[in-house]
Every structure is written in structure tokens, then in C-alpha cells.
Structure 1
Amino acid sequence: MGPKLVMGSPRNAFGRALVEAGERREDLVVLTADVADATRTKWFAERFPNRFINVGISEQAMIGMSAGLSAVGFLPLASAFAMFLMRAWEQVRNMVCRAHVNVKIVGTHAGFADAGDGSSHQALEDVALMRTLPCMTVVVPADPIEVAKATHAIIDYPTPVYMRIGRDYGPPVYDDPDYDFVIGKAVWLRDGDDYAIIGNGPLLWDALQAAKMLKREGISVAVINMHTVKPLDTALLDKVINKFKGIITIEEHGVRGGLGSAIAEYVVQNPPEIPVPIKIMGAKSYGRSARDVRDLIKAQGLDSTSIVNTIKRLESRVRK
């Protein structure tokens, strides 16, 4: 089963929001690494040609130039495919984070979004790499509505930010384009009593479907959008780990180093009075070439049916 309705696409929402941000921020400069069409930064280039730079296929140079622009008073936003932005991790560390210059980095085609090009183009490690950097804020919006909201939010945020978005797969999680998006503030998408699914990105659509399926079987599941991986909404986490019988995390990222790891680290260091089991759901290996994103989601066991089965197995152990 897949989503019946896809409202726009993440990259289109990003491109439109970037133009809107350019209208109100004259200091905003956008850079890309020869992928203006694919990232939709071309729309910013068409509207503000004097504030757009295509550095060519050189992500490292793009980050270095961004750091320099920030140092002289501009607000640079660098965007390219998430996987190939990781080539520039050293430059992000040394030129952006160590200097603490205000650069925004947006990785598109993240997770399984670039299904047709195979594992070389599928970023499943980027959140892990970026959240290790002390100064970096990490944001993973859920759907096109939230991508647009998050784009404006990261541009106005006072620290360096890494945001990852998909390509064209963007099943609707929100139906209210006016909801309040706040970096570092998680969102309750659905309340429940037994288990909590905490996730981000497009897999939240599957989490919501799974919660509906489990309700019919008498299992009450809350769904929480932890769109900011760093800093985590620890106030919400404190409530969750003391309320539910178990926590399931889900993300379009590897099981090591992403949102699930971040939550597990926090729980270990701030244990609840009654221990709470945590199941981390994410990619266990590299992706592969596929006809569409749904094929990869199912192959990695991250679709709604897989979430239902995971919670049922957890329920059977908890009852014992």
C-alpha cells in the first residue's frame, strides 16, 4: 500500500520557499554545485541572478565559498545532492563549524529519494555525519508543506544548519499549511496510550498509517514528528519515555547515528524510572536501484505493514 495523494514535491516546495525568502532577505545568496535544475535552486537564480553562484561540480569549493561569504556579511545557502555534499564534510567541519559562520546547507535527494540512480546517490549517512559537529543544527522535514516552513525557519535561524529533503516523493503528513513550525520543537501528529512512534521525513506517512491499522486491533499508538534531530526536543522526550510502554523510531536513514541513535543516547543518559524499550527502524544497508521510492521503503522493511509487525512483536514481549 502506498500513498494515494502526493501534494507537490519536497524539492519544488524548497525552490518556491527559497524565492520567497530571497524577496525578504537581500543578504541571502544561494550556491549550488551544477545541480540548479535538480535542486530547484534555478528558480532563485532566475529571480535573483546577481545573488546566485554555480560553482560547478565542486562541493568542497561551494562550502568554502559559502564560509567566506558569511564572514563578510552575506547569508549563504549551499544546496546539492545530500550524498555528494558529504564530500565536503571536512570543509563543513573546518570552515563552517570551527569558525562558527552562519551557513545554511540543504541536501536534496536524501534517503531513498533518488531511487533510480542506486546506492551511490542515496544518502543514508548524512544525518549521522552532520549531527556530530558541535555547532550544527540538523533538520529533517516531513512533507512539502513542512519543507516550505522549514526552509524559511532555517534561513532565519542564528546558527549553521543542515537540512535534508527528498526529491519528488512527498506523501502528505500535514493538511494545514499554516501550522507553526519551530526548530527544536517536536510535533504531536497523533496521540495514543500504549506506544509512541517518533520519526521524521516522509516515513511519517507510513507511521500514521500503521497507527490507524493498530487502532483496529486495540493497540493505541502516538505518532510524533521529531523534525529537528539536533537539538532534540528533550522536554517532549522526557514526557514520552515516562508515558509509553515502548518507543519505535523510524527514519529514512541508517540505523546508526541518526534520529534513533540520538534518542537512544538521550534515554541512556536520562533514564526513566521504569525502563522503556526502544526499537530503531531505519536502513540496515545501502539502497539499490529501484523503479520508485516505495520499492526501497518496502525492501528495507520500513513501510506501514513492517511498522505494525514491529510493534506487535514488541507488544508480545512487553506482555510477557
Structure 2
Amino acid sequence: MRRNKYERPVIEKTGEKLKTSAMIASLGADGLPTISAPFGHALKKLAKNRPEIVGMSADLSKYTDLHIFAKEYPDRFYQMGMAEQLLVSSAAGMAKEGFIPFITTYAVFATRRAYDFIHQCISEEGYNVKICCALPGLTTGYGPSHQATEDIAMMRGIPDLTIIDPCDALEIQQAVPAIADYQGPVYMRLPRGKVPLVLDKYNYKFEVGKAKLLTEGKDVLIISTGLMTMRSLEAVDLLKAENIDVSVLHCATIKPLDKEKILEEVSKEYKLVIVAENHTEIGGLGEAIATLLLTEGKCPSFMQIALPDEYLDAGALPTLHTRYGISSEMMVKKIKNKLNN
């Protein structure tokens, strides 16, 4: 794909004709098991015995999997139309009356269009609203209008807002009841549709505010979140063939950061510490951890694997993940180059 400042994206032909579905393809490798709409089903299950839970969306319930909840509990579902500021402020009012609103839209719309309302109506008041937003980072090929590559940077600036970036379907299933029990506003990035299942092999249990060590190795530590934990686990196997042992610390909660666990792992003196995230290199988990390490006097060899600070192209997701360095193969290449330099 080629694009300059004034041109629309152009898909380069590489043999097989590109299909539109490739722009919203499954994020998992071929053959990886998936679970359909884990968020919608988890919320539906939880709400059975939690009458205070309501669902609200801005004309995107079908595309955030909230339609599953809406079908089961039509009297507890509120379709607010294409009005994200209204969605957020109404959710604040519902929370003030004792409800627990789970609100959904695309991450770009919640953060860019309703930021002030989240800041003033929800977070400053400490209202118990759960903001669950689909298409985080580079999980759609529809270009900058839909790619929320800077959402964590924006939301990290809001005091008292908890930020969650789940890796897979299992973590979403566990996170939904966990954030419902957690008092205070939450922003959760939301993989949607057919979501890969990865963490079931690691006896994983999600806890708000806790990072979890998934694999142990002596050479490299990858601290990852969201989609990039799946990529990191794929990279572990690829690097093992190169005799490089890798630890993966999954940091699903980006704010508040699990400082104690991160510092414990970094203190093991790896050859290289990496932060991997599906987000711009500006203002996300990488910068949060770099600040932590410098503040605590820890200065390991350090590298970020993240999206560049630029507007990204439209196109097929597999192509874009390779182009912008967040595929498992590109991760391996970057890690080997860093170790060899």
C-alpha cells in the first residue's frame, strides 16, 4: 500500500485478491481456537443475578457484542444513537442512581469524541461506569479514523481511571465480573467477534491491578499487554529455536501499574527488557514502565515494540501488523537485532 499526505490508500496487489474481510480478520494465527463474542456472553451471564447492571451503546451494539446482552435484557439496554457524549453523560447519571452501566462503542469514538465527558462526568465524580471499547490500536484495517492507536495515552492522563487491556477470550470472560465488582470507573479495551483463546494453557486468572508471569526464561523479559501478549507467546516458541529463553510478564492492567511485580522481574538482570503493546510508542505502557524503571534506578537494556507515532495505513491486518512491527515474526527480528548489537 502506498499513500502520501493527499492520496487515499492504495492496496498493492500481491497475487491473491484482497478481500474486505482481511481488514477485520481474526487476530489469531491459523488454527488457534476462538470464542465468539466473549464479552457479550460474559455480561449476559453476569447480569442474570445482578439487576443493577445495564448495557448502553452508541449505535454499535452489534459491533461491540453488546447485542447479546440487549437481546436477553431488552429492558436494561439503552441505545443512545450516534452520540457518544450523550452516552457517557447518561451513563454517569445511571451510575449516580446506583446502576452499573457497561457502555460500548469504538475506542476512537469514546476517547476522541467524549474525552471531556469521561473526565468530568464519570472520573472526577468516581462513578462506577465500565467503558468497554472495541477496535483498540491496530485491530482494524480501516485507517486512522477507526484505529485507536493513542487511546491509552489519552486515558492514562485521567486521574482515578483504571485501564485494562485483555489478551484473549478467557481474560475477557474473567475481566467482566472482576470489573463489575471493582468500585470506580474502568476503561477496558475490547477484542470483539471471534476472539482467540490463548491463556487457558497457562492456568491464568485475571485480577485487577496484577501482572502475571506466563513463561520463564533467562535471556529476555517481555512485558506485554493485550494483543501483544499473544504475539509475545508466539515469539517465545520462535526464539526458543534460536536458543534464546524468554520470560513473558502479562500486564493486563495498565493503570494502576503492578509496580512491585514489574520491579521484581526486572531485578533478575535479563540481557534485554522489552515492552510490547498494540499502541503508539507515545504515552502507553512502554513509557509508563520506562518511567518506573528510571525512577527506581533500574537501567536495563530496554526496547519498545509498539506502533509508530504516525497515522497508519488502511489495508489487510496481517500486512499492517508486519509493516508496523507487531507481528510475532517482526518481534523476533527486532529482538535478535537488539541482542546482537
Q: TM-score category by the smaller chain?
A: over 0.9
**Partners of 2:204 and 2:48 in 1: how far apart?**
22
Residue from 176, 179, 182 that aligns with 1:157:
182
Query: Relative to structure 2, which stretch is displaced further, 277-286 or 226-235?
Result: 277-286
Q: Is the 8 A contact 2:209 2:253 kept in 1?
A: yes
**Partners of 2:333 and 2:204 in 1: how far apart?**
32
Q: Give the corresponding residue for 1:129.
A: 154
Question: 1:4 is matched by which residue type in structure 2?
Answer: D
Q: How many residues align?
A: 312
Give 1:9 shift.
5.0
Instruction: Indicate the SS of the match to 1:44.
Output: helix
- Map 1:164-175 to 2 at 5 A: 164-168=189-193, 170-175=195-200
- Map 1:1-320 to 2 at 5 A: 3-8=29-34, 12-86=37-111, 87-115=113-141, 117-168=142-193, 170-176=195-201, 179-243=204-268, 244-272=270-298, 275-284=299-308, 285-291=310-316, 293-317=317-341
Query: Relative to structure 2, which stretch is displaced further, 200-209 or 74-83?
Result: 200-209
Q: Is the 8 A contact 2:202 2:214 kept in 1?
A: no
Measured against aligned partners, the alpha-carbon deviations of 1:227-275 in whole angstroms (never above 9, x if no partner) come to 1101111111111221122211111111111111111111111123xx2
Give 1:179 shift.
3.5
Extract unaligned runs of 5+ from structure 2.
1-26
**Partners of 1:314 and 1:266 in 2: how far apart?**
22
Q: Larger % of helix: which? A: 1
Q: Is the 8 A contact 2:223 2:276 kept in 1?
A: yes
Q: Is the 8 A contact 1:140 1:164 kept in 2?
A: yes
**Partners of 1:5 and 1:68 in 2: how far apart?**
44
Q: Is the 8 A contact 1:200 1:250 kept in 2?
A: yes
Q: Is the 8 A contact 1:113 1:169 kept in 2?
A: no
Extract unaligned runs of 5+ from structure 1.
none
Shift in alpha-carbon separation, 1:195–1:171, aligned structure 2, 3 A:
same
Measured against aligned partners, the alpha-carbon deviations of 1:117-158 in whole angstroms (never above 9, x if no partner) come to 222111111111111111100000001111111112111111
**Partners of 1:177 and 1:147 in 2: how far apart?**
15
Measured against aligned partners, the alpha-carbon deviations of 1:287-309 in whole angstroms (never above 9, x if no partner) come to 22223x22221110111222112
Question: 1:130 is matched by which residue type in structure 2?
Answer: M
Q: Is the 8 A contact 1:173 1:204 kept in 2?
A: no
Query: Relative to structure 2, which stretch is displaced further, 302-311 or 30-39?
Result: 302-311
Shift in alpha-carbon separation, 1:230–1:163, aligned structure 2, 3 A:
same
**Partners of 1:301 and 1:134 in 2: how far apart?**
31
Normalising by structure 2, we get a TM-score of 0.87
Instruction: Indicate the SS of the match to 2:34.
Output: coil
State percent identity of aligned pairs. Answer: 33
Q: Is the 8 A contact 2:211 2:262 kept in 1?
A: no
- Tell me the C-alpha RMSD between the 2 structures: 1.8
**Partners of 2:52 and 2:32 in 1: how far apart?**
33
**Partners of 1:5 and 1:153 in 2: how far apart?**
29
**Partners of 1:8 and 1:264 in 2: how far apart?**
33
Shift in alpha-carbon separation, 1:6–1:219, aligned structure 2, 3 A:
closer
**Partners of 2:59 and 2:329 in 1: how far apart?**
39
**Partners of 1:296 and 1:18 in 2: how far apart?**
32
**Partners of 1:287 and 1:168 in 2: how far apart?**
23
Q: Is the 8 A contact 1:111 1:166 kept in 2?
A: no
Give 1:2 shift.
6.7
